[in-house]
Amino acid sequence: MIKQRKYIFGLFIFLILIIFLGISKGSAAISLNGLLHGEYREILLLRMLRVLAAMAVGCGLSICGVTLQALLRNPLAEPYLLGTSSGAGLGAIVALLCGLSSIFLPLAAFLAAVLSMFLVYFLARENNRIPATSLILSGVIVSILLSGLMVVLISTSPNEALRGLSWWLWGSLQVYDPVLIFIASFVVLIGFFIIGFFAQDLNAISLGEEEAIHLGIQTEGVKKILFFVVSFIVASLVSLCGIIGFVGLIIPHAARFIVGPNHKVLIPTAGLMGAAFMVLCDLLSRTLFVPVEIPVGVITAVVGAPVFIIVLKNRQKI
């Protein structure tokens, strides 16, 4: 336990360092002296908002990945499994094609993501139960259906709308609305505490539902609560910054490799690791090809794929 606490403390220090780099580095570097004397206040404020958004996204997607992998007992489960990303994407497309301003795009994406989540839930439900296999299949079916509708609408949309949408679908942290960022961060924070409250239940369910039932855990009730919590977190994050892949898949595995499967430690570890990883990826997206910025989802995919391979190889050696 002491060793695990040291890992968490080390991750916290690393996150502080990455936050400092995320604020000070970019197309226009800000010196430490400039930070201390309040120079570049506007740039500083924008970067702080961006770092906060990155932390919320990284933490939220990571803890959602941990939760779904435990509930479904599937190492390939990730936050977008429940169809929320496709639903949010379709909602954003419809909003753009209807001529709605960018102010209403996050709201349209959020509402569509929530509706897709309810659709997956009702398709998967069997006699007031939610079998893991049915949930996965329902999520895949809904995602394919909504993705098909997205392709149809994109292929018939004006070029201007298509350019703006393609950036959003690859993920973008160019969100400078404090209200949206704080709402999404608040949803992630509340979700973090709710998921953490069920950490011991997740430990039991990850071993098997029968074992969890024998321990007196109301598995179906826990699953419903956590599925909805995860869905609302993901819907909030996708409506904020678009679809950013790989984070909710690789970070839970990396955190589990470091501190083990105990969710009481795994959840905060994954949250810290995901936040640091996302801030780092955003920093790379802004600084690799200055002054051109590439979508952060591209960075997470390029960085995430090799990391995931390394994690799998190390697990095979144990």
Q: How many CB atoms lie within 10 A of CB 166?
A: 12
Q: Is 196 exposed, middle or buried (0-12, 13-18, 19+ CB in 10 A)?
A: middle
| Mean predicted lDDT score pLDDT of the chain | 82
Q: Determine contact, residues 277/251, Cβ cutoff 8 Å.
A: yes
Output the six-digit token pair for 269.
Answer: 């570890």
From residue 199, give the alpha-carbon distance in Å to each of 208, 236, 263, 313: 15, 22, 5, 27
Tell me the per-residue pLDDT of 81-115, one tens digit each, with 9 for 90 and over. Answer: 888 888 888 887 788 777 776 667 778 888 888 88
Number of domains in the chain: 1
100, exposed or middle or buried, with CB in 10 Å at 0-12, 13-18, 19+?
middle
Backbone angles phi, psi at 257, to 5 degrees: -65, -35
Please report, in tens digits, the pLDDT of each residue of the chain (318 residues total): 677 778 888 889 999 999 988 887 776 666 656 555 666 677 778 888 999 999 999 999 999 999 999 988 888 788 888 888 888 888 877 887 777 766 677 788 888 888 888 888 888 888 777 787 788 888 888 888 887 787 777 777 665 655 556 666 777 888 778 888 999 999 999 999 999 999 999 999 888 877 777 878 888 888 889 988 998 898 888 888 888 888 998 899 889 888 988 999 999 999 999 999 999 999 988 888 777 778 888 888 887 777 767 666 665 555
Q: What is the CATH number of the domain that holds 279?
A: 1.10.3470.10
Domain hosting residue 110, numbered range:
2-317
